[in-house]
Amino acid sequence: MSRVVSVAVPVPALDLLSYAVPEDLPLPQIGARVLVPLGTRVVTGCVVRQTADPAVTRLKPLVDVLDPEPMLPAEVVDLALWVSEYYACGPGEAIAAAMPPRAWVVSEPQARITDAGRAALGEQPGASRRTVLELLVDGTARPVAQLGRLVAARRGRSRRGAGGLHALLGAMARDGLVTLAQPLRGTASAFKSIRVARLTAHGRALLEDGTSLGVRQREALELLQGTPAGVTVPALTRRGIPGETVRRLVACGGLTVSREVIERDPWSTETLATTDTQSGSDRVLTAEQQTAVDALTEAAGSGRFTVALLHGVTGSGKTEVYRRLAKVTLASKRQALILVPEIALTPAVVTSFRQAFGARVAVQHSGLSDGARHDQWHRIRRGEVDVVVGTRSAVFAPLPSVGLIAVDEEHDASYKQEESPRYHARDVAIMRAKRNGALVVLGSATPSLESYRHAASGRYRRLTLSQRVKCRPLPTVRIVDMREEFAAHGPDVVISRPLAEAIDARLTRREQVLVLLNRRGFAAAVFCRECGRTLECPNCSVSLTFHRSAGQARCHYCGYARARPVSCPECAGPYLEQIGFGTERVEAEIVGRWPDARVARLDRDTVRRKGAAARLLERFASGAVDVLVGTQMVAKGHDFPRVTLVGVISADVGLGVADFRAGERTFQLLTQVAGRAGRGEVPGEAFVQTLYPDHYSIRYACSQAYGPFYDEEMRFRRAMRYPPVVSLVSAVVRGTSFTQTMQEAGDLVAWLRRRPSRFRVLGPAPAPLGRLRGQYRAQLLLKGQHRREMREALLAALDGRAELKRRVVIDVDPMWML
């Protein structure tokens, strides 16, 4: 009976692979990392299944077992396998999403010549052997793959495949002409360790005796004598004691140097700005908060799978509800997972949990350095943590027994990963809770239609917080009809009269203002008045945005940038004009109009560097900034009590997008940003500038009427058969030829239509973003009630067409139709 394991390897679209476990290796457990041969490489994989299959023969053996104990808990391995099935991606890609940073080590076999090999060169070896030996004669170790290319180049043709070269090298190694080694790139352990020097008894004796010591050696020993806990080697170096001295002293036994693991501190890179001074435990809940907590207390402690939608208006205190429920969960010896869209933008949530649970809180998000994230991950894995606050990928956090998962701002699109595995963390959270018997709380002021529909049908429990805390009123929202503004003051108006007056008043009263425009840059496009063409990205089918401070026209999809031309690249016409505007222009307008105001801008251009967003928000929170202009980043769950005015420069930016969720996103963004106003003592006000004051998304956002919006939006989805009424699976064929991608997408459509099925197939059509990063994109859409059937049909259509499959992006429950 041979011992066999199924291994997930992080290679796109690759199935599970089976390997034999050699006699001299322990049988690796599920969740343990192993090194396995894959083609000419050796890669890290993760064991997902153990089998003892007598029928299996001739399997390749494992190279090594990296973890005696599982790296991933078996439960997380199972969850990842579910993700790979549901989202139709390779199991290794899903496992990789659950792994901490630095878990993968790779290694490539390398060949090096021996003395016998050098000698053999003089003895007329065969032609192939001679070629290899000549390539290695300089003594460097060469990766086998590189050697293969060099051999092929020498011979002018690639007669010998990789397999042939491997056999040849194997034979040469047996004859002692070369050595083959597999050095690891990366290390199996990525803990940060530091070398610490300590004085030994012998060292103390040396000091007392003193005669045989050099100056530096004496200094080192004296230093260590005064510091019994030890001094790190880098610290010794900083004090002028060279490594050589340390080595000598170690050699003579005067001191020892040992490696010690230290933890990288995630809090040091984080500004934990908060305006919340009450510690929370002494705080009296509002009646509605209390009702919600009471309703869910049983589920939070019981271990019965429950999903609840916490529909609470902005400023109703949803975080406090999660926190109370987390207490209940912890009391029953289970852990809580709090998911947030973007930690950098809402540090207050972390702070709130740190206040309540102290050091037993860990954070997991991409803003941390890999090292800090790795260390935090292992704290969770070791069971040292009761609460994890994190972004999307934290849904895989290796907690031993999750009892509560809160998904804050559950409607937020950033929960969906836009690269493989294309999972939605909210939906993975629900699946994880189901498997563990846990409570999921989905919180939002503007729930996704998907979640609200389940709450309305009774599948999820619905809890409502209709009032803000401390009886604070919701902001008053006024619509500014820009058609009238343009008629009265011309088409160049950025800030309307009513909004300008409101800003004036706030600046006089020393209150704060948030200004939203969901488009970055200075001008939306540059166009030629002579030939009418706009400046386009050479790689993508979009126009370039003008960024004034950089003097560049940039593509927001692929990053292409060029200096703004002085004349039209098409017709050489000299009259280039800018049309539309972005946050950079709004900032300039405000600075020009209120030169004394302190103005800052928050968008992806101003906060590229790690920690920059948190620092900027902290400046705003501290009152060092009067007006903060930005993209949707300013609308996230911030809680700034001194903001009493929110201005929306154009509510229409997202409405023109060819996406059935355009109306929903506009409603959510406007409701959320308006909700940033009036969260303190002074009531808030918002001004929404629009050319479509009658659009239902805008009207209902302004009256903050979720129910009527939901009804109207659902009517549209039902009529057009869009989610949540049906499920969608999208497939985009990418390629360098437009005709070919359309043809291939058409073939897939035809194939799918020939088979009986319960779903509809739409397409092929050029995707709304018809070209991206130099590749054409042809799209087909599957619409139906049964995701499994659609997914399997699509995979069946691609079966046996590996090359095409690599160019097809399958997106189950897509968030964007682009």
Binding site for ligand ADP (CB under 6 A): 276, 283-286, 289, 312, 314-320, 469-470, 637, 639
- Vertex 793 angle, CA 788 and 794, to 5°: 100
316 is in the binding site of which of ligand ADP, Zn ion, none (Cβ under 5 to 8 A by kind)? ligand ADP
> If DSSP codes are grouped into helix, strand and coil, which group holds residue 3?
strand
Within 358-397, the residues that bind Zn ion by CB under 5 A are: none
Residue facing ligand ADP at closest CB distance: 317
Select from 142, 138, 145, 146 the least CA-distant residue to 118.
138
CA-CA-CA-CA torsion sign (586, 343, 278, 324): positive
Nearest approach in angstroms of CB 552 to Zn ion is 13
Nearest approach in angstroms of CB 272 to ligand ADP is 14
Q: Which of 513, 514, 540, 817 binds Zn ion (CB under 5 A)?
A: 540
Nearest approach in angstroms of CB 653 to Zn ion is 19
Q: Counting beta carbons within 10 angstroms of the beta carbon of residue 215, is it exposed (0 to 12), middle (13 to 18) or buried (19 or more)? A: exposed
314 is in the binding site of which of ligand ADP, Zn ion, none (Cβ under 5 to 8 A by kind)? ligand ADP
Separation CA 418–CA 424 (nearest Å) = 9
Select from 85, 73, 70, 99 the least CA-distant residue to 9.
99
Separation CA 208–CA 204 (nearest Å) = 6
Nearest approach in angstroms of CB 660 to Zn ion is 24
Nearest approach in angstroms of CB 157 to Zn ion is 39
Separation CA 816–CA 818 (nearest Å) = 5
286 is in the binding site of which of ligand ADP, Zn ion, none (Cβ under 5 to 8 A by kind)? ligand ADP
Query: Are 364 and 425 within 8 A, CB to CB?
Result: no
Separation CA 380–CA 391 (nearest Å) = 15
210 token code pair:
């003193």
Q: Which of 106, 558, 561, 682 binds Zn ion (CB under 5 A)?
A: 558
Nearest approach in angstroms of CB 403 to ligand ADP is 21
320 is in the binding site of which of ligand ADP, Zn ion, none (Cβ under 5 to 8 A by kind)? ligand ADP
Residue 509 carries which DSSP code?
A: H
Separation CA 49–CA 436 (nearest Å) = 20
Separation CA 421–CA 735 (nearest Å) = 21
Residue 763, sorted as left (phi over 0), alpha (psi -120 to 50) or beta, turns out to be left
329 is in the binding site of which of Zn ion, ligand ADP, none (Cβ under 5 to 8 A by kind)? none
540 is in the binding site of which of Zn ion, ligand ADP, none (Cβ under 5 to 8 A by kind)? Zn ion
Binding residues with Zn ion: total (CB under 5 A): 7
Nearest approach in angstroms of CB 475 to ligand ADP is 12
Q: Which is nearer to ligand ADP, 84 or 314 (CB)?
A: 314
Backbone angles phi, psi at 262, to 5 degrees: -120, 160
CA distances from 719 to 185, 715, 722, 726 (A): 55, 6, 8, 11
557 is in the binding site of which of Zn ion, ligand ADP, none (Cβ under 5 to 8 A by kind)? Zn ion
Nearest approach in angstroms of CB 320 to ligand ADP is 4
Backbone angles phi, psi at 101, to 5 degrees: -60, 155
Separation CA 150–CA 131 (nearest Å) = 9
584 is in the binding site of which of Zn ion, ligand ADP, none (Cβ under 5 to 8 A by kind)? none
Q: Which is nearer to ligand ADP, 354 or 520 (CB)?
A: 354
Nearest approach in angstroms of CB 639 to ligand ADP is 4
Q: Does 555 bind Zn ion (CB under 5 A)?
A: yes
Q: Does 537 bind Zn ion (CB under 5 A)?
A: yes
631 is in the binding site of which of ligand ADP, Zn ion, none (Cβ under 5 to 8 A by kind)? none
Q: Which is nearer to ligand ADP, 70 or 684 (CB)?
A: 684
Residue 54 carries which DSSP code?
A: T
Q: Does 560 bind Zn ion (CB under 5 A)?
A: yes
Q: Which is nearer to ligand ADP, 470 or 509 (CB)?
A: 470
Q: Which is nearer to Zn ion, 12 or 774 (CB)?
A: 774
Q: Which is nearer to Zn ion, 114 or 539 (CB)?
A: 539
The one-letter amino acid code at 488 reads A
Select from 452, 413, 441 the least CA-distant residue to 710.
452
405 is in the binding site of which of Zn ion, ligand ADP, none (Cβ under 5 to 8 A by kind)? none
Select from 276, 323, 326, 259 the least CA-distant residue to 299.
326
Separation CA 340–CA 336 (nearest Å) = 13
Nearest approach in angstroms of CB 424 to ligand ADP is 21
Q: Which of 557, 692, 716, 816 binds Zn ion (CB under 5 A)?
A: 557
Q: Which is nearer to Zn ion, 486 or 557 (CB)?
A: 557
Mention every residue, 6+ apart, whose C-beta is less than 8 A from residue 526. Answer: 534, 535, 543, 544, 546, 553, 564, 576, 577, 578, 579
Q: Does 553 bind Zn ion (CB under 5 A)?
A: no
CA distances from 85 to 49, 79, 217, 305, 724 (A): 16, 10, 62, 22, 21
537 is in the binding site of which of ligand ADP, Zn ion, none (Cβ under 5 to 8 A by kind)? Zn ion
582 token code pair:
């972005």
Q: Which is nearer to Zn ion, 557 or 816 (CB)?
A: 557
Q: Which of 18, 200, 369, 539 binds Zn ion (CB under 5 A)?
A: 539
Nearest approach in angstroms of CB 277 to ligand ADP is 9
Query: Are 106 and 183 within 8 A, CB to CB?
Result: no
128 is in the binding site of which of Zn ion, ligand ADP, none (Cβ under 5 to 8 A by kind)? none
Nearest approach in angstroms of CB 526 to ligand ADP is 40
Query: Are 412 and 371 within 8 A, CB to CB?
Result: no
Stretch that binds Zn ion, among 165-173, 412-420, 539-547, 727-735 (CB under 5 A): 539-547
CA 213 vs. chain centroid, Å, equals 55
Nearest approach in angstroms of CB 679 to ligand ADP is 6
Binding site for Zn ion (CB under 5 A): 537, 539-540, 555, 557-558, 560
